[in-house]
Chains A and B, each alone.
Chain A
Amino acid sequence: MIQNRVEQAYREHWARLLALLTGQFRDMDLAEDALQDAFADAVRTWRNDGVPSNPAAWLLTTARRRALDRMRREASNARRMPLLVVDGGEPEMADMSAIPDERLRLIFTCCHPALAQESRVALTLRCVGGLTTPEIARLFLVSETTLAARIGRAKKKIAMAGIPYRVPESGDLATRLDGVLAVVYLIFTQGYANRAELAPEAVRLGRVLAELLPREPEVLGLLALMMLQHARRLARFDDGGALVLLADQDRELWRWNEIADGLAVLNRALAANSLGTYAIQASIAAHHATARQAADTDWERIAVLYAELERLTGSPVVRLNRAAAVAEWQGPGAALNLLAGLDELLPRHHRLPATRAELLSRLGRDTEAVEQYDRALELVGDNSERAFLCGRRDVSARRAAGR
């Protein structure tokens, strides 16, 4: 019971308290250790004295005391690291019930472009997501030692190199925000591809960002995109764990209430004058998510959105997706033409031969389709996708032999 209340407080308050303590003590390790201490104290104290009326304020006071204890104990040791560069004074906290929200500073520091992408991901999950080091290590299939060392190195660089603990100035904000969104979306797509437990963490981070930056269209666009994709999670794999294509998914398994929530967020993103890449992707996801049957999908609109996304990103992967939409709208022949010339840009990407194979098979050119499936199977890594491609290849091979 008390354990549950402490866990609930952890989920609700970890990042906010860590952000405040980091700003106050200008030391990420000290802030984190002291906050851990406070949660451990809570388990003991709340059991005896009951849960305090304001758990967050109790945790903050306790963590501050624990931090001061630690500083006194370690005072004799030489300082290990320089203090963080922090802008501005300490926030006034006359009223303990209104704990200031400084999570944005924490997020921008964890996602600083001077850190390696994998460090940004690990730090963000640890500091903002509140996941423990063993949890993150499990999610990324690396040892706890490796993950702890990665987080340790990143924190050390933040202090040593003077990565500032602050929200970037308005001139840099847009670029830096792109970097933050990329980290969150990377966490989501990793979850989407093979570590299912990561996706909800990414959605949670997306919600935090949308709460902190409610007027940024791309923040809302990313959140909507993740919510709309995540709402289909139960339909994406069959009982044997094999990937189910969107067209074949059992739409009864989609979470329609989550889709409605995602659409509401998307509508806020679409209020902006120009659409960013996440809002466009969310719009595409929305067209899929609102089709009651696969046949109802508005492929023309989706193809147009992909064309716009391709114009913004110049990405050959987007061209692939666009081709798949064009195949539904104007037929496999038109789509095949769109794939011409992509081989040089995507030499090792299994989805190019896989898409081409699918289109050839629909045109009845099964012998060529089998060749392309074989090529795709050489390149694919993921097991569920491999099984799917094998199945499709066999269908084409049987048809080619039957001729």
Chain B
Amino acid sequence: MQYALLIYQVDKHWAEADEAERARMYAEHGKFVELLNAHDAMRGGAELALSANATTVRRNNGEALLTDGPYAETTEQIGGYYIVEAKDLDQALEFAKACPADIVEVRPFAPASEPG
């Protein structure tokens, strides 16, 4: 099964992190990717720019309304994600626990609908 590991973070912490702190975080993510690769579980992922750079598009009566910023103004924002292949939720949760982030939401992919 495939799962998205959605990483939530406080944008301010990352914005205020110094060079050394950032290098340390990237190294930890590098190690995490190695772990996923060792299990042949890495299926994709990306670091996202801070939520201040987001634009939200809402469709309203056929009209697209644009707002500056993320969909929901919460303290923690999605800062990145991984797509992993896991045999079950337990394994996906093991990966999430190993992921270097304070909050990780584990979301299963919806099952592919059968053809016909």
Binding site for B on A (CB under 8 A): 78-79, 81-82, 85, 112, 114, 160-164, 168, 172
Contacts and interface: CB of A to CB of B under 8 A. Distances in A.
A175 to B, nearest CB: 12
Nearest to B112: A82
B90 to A, nearest CB: 6
Interface size class of B (residues with CB under 8 A): 10 to 19
B86 A162 contact: yes
B108 A164 contact: no
B75 interface: no
A162 B113 contact: no
B89 interface: yes
Contacts of B3: 162
Contacts of B93: 114
Contacts of B108: 160-162
Residue picked from B86, B108, B110, most chain A C-beta under 10 Å: B108
Interface of B: 1, 3, 86-90, 92-93, 106, 108, 110-111, 113-114
Contacts of B1: 82, 85, 162
A74 B89 CA distance: 27
Nearest to B90: A164
Chain A residues touching B, majority SS: loop
Contact of A163 (B88, B110, B113, B114): B88
27 contacts: A78-B114, A79-B111, A79-B114, A82-B1, A82-B111, A85-B1, A85-B87, A85-B89, A112-B89, A114-B89, A114-B93, A160-B108, A160-B110, A161-B106, A161-B108, A162-B1, A162-B3, A162-B86, A162-B88, A162-B89, A162-B92, A162-B108, A163-B88, A163-B89, A164-B87, A164-B88, A164-B89
Contacts of B114: 78-79
A168 B113 CA distance: 30
A81 B111 CA distance: 8
A114 B90 CA distance: 9
B109 to A, nearest CB: 10
Contacts of B86: 162
Contacts of B87: 85, 164
Given A114-B93, A161-B106, A163-B90, 14 more contacts: A79-B114, A81-B111, A82-B1, A85-B1, A160-B108, A160-B111, A161-B89, A161-B108, A162-B86, A162-B88, A162-B89, A162-B92, A164-B89, A172-B90
A164 B114 CA distance: 22
9 closest residue pairs by CB, A with B? A164-B88, A85-B88, A82-B111, A162-B89, A162-B1, A162-B88, A161-B108, A163-B89, A161-B89
Nearest to A86: B88
Nearest to A165: B88
A69 B43 CA distance: 39
Contacts of A82: 1, 111
Nearest to B111: A82
